């Protein structure tokens, strides 16, 4: 009995609906390293990110995601760059400048 296969694009076109194809294999042509691998459709759809990636590249992506979420100090930096904060800094600099001239 030959195992049925589905490509990543086909799976995507189905909106990752696994109905009736749970025992199919999903063919992944990794978009990062070009390696072709097979996954059981059901296990592939359990992924958090349904990307066209092999196991290795997918793991890297997930690691990046964890790093990003752990790095909450970055959100403080973003807060400092908010328009209203920048505007305040700009005004205080202008004030200093005009005071120096008078």
According to CB under 5 A, which one of 21, 26, 28, 54 is a site residue for Zn ion? Answer: 54
How near is the Cβ of 44 to Zn ion at its closest, in Å? 14
21 backbone dihedrals φ, ψ, rounded to 5°: -125, 20
Sequence-ordered list of residues with C-beta below 8 angstroms from that of 89, at least 6 positions apart, any chain: none
Cβ–Cβ contacts within 10 Å for residue 39, how many?
20
Region binding Zn ion by CB under 5 A among candidate stretches 4-12, 46-54, 63-71, 82-90: 46-54
Q: Does 63 bind Zn ion (CB under 5 A)?
A: no
Cβ–Cβ contacts within 10 Å for residue 25, how many?
16
User: Residues 70, 26: contact at Cβ < 8 Å?
Assistant: no
How near is the Cβ of 41 to Zn ion at its closest, in Å? 19
Query: Residue 39 belongs to what H/E stretch?
Result: strand 36-40
How near is the Cβ of 46 to Zn ion at its closest, in Å? 18
According to CB under 5 A, which one of 27, 45, 57, 61 is a site residue for Zn ion? Answer: 57
The single residue listed with the structure tokens 């990543």 is 8
Count, residues near Zn ion per rule CB under 5 A: 5
Q: Which of residues 16-35 bind Zn ion (CB under 5 A)?
A: 30, 32-33
Binding site for Zn ion (CB under 5 A): 30, 32-33, 54, 57
């Amino acid at each position: 009995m030959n195992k049925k296969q589905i490509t990543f694009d086909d799976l995507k076109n189905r909106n990752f609906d696994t109905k009736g194809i749970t025992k199919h294999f999903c063919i992944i042509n990794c978009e990062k390293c070009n390696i072709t691998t097979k996954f059981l459709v059901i296990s592939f759809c359990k992924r958090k990110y349904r990307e066209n990636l092999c196991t290795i590249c997918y793991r890297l992506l997930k690691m990046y995601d964890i790093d990003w979420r752990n790095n909450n100090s970055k959100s403080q930096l973003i807060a400092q760059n908010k328009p209203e904060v920048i505007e305040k800094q700009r005004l205080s600099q202008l004030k200093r400048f005009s005071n120096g001239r008078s």
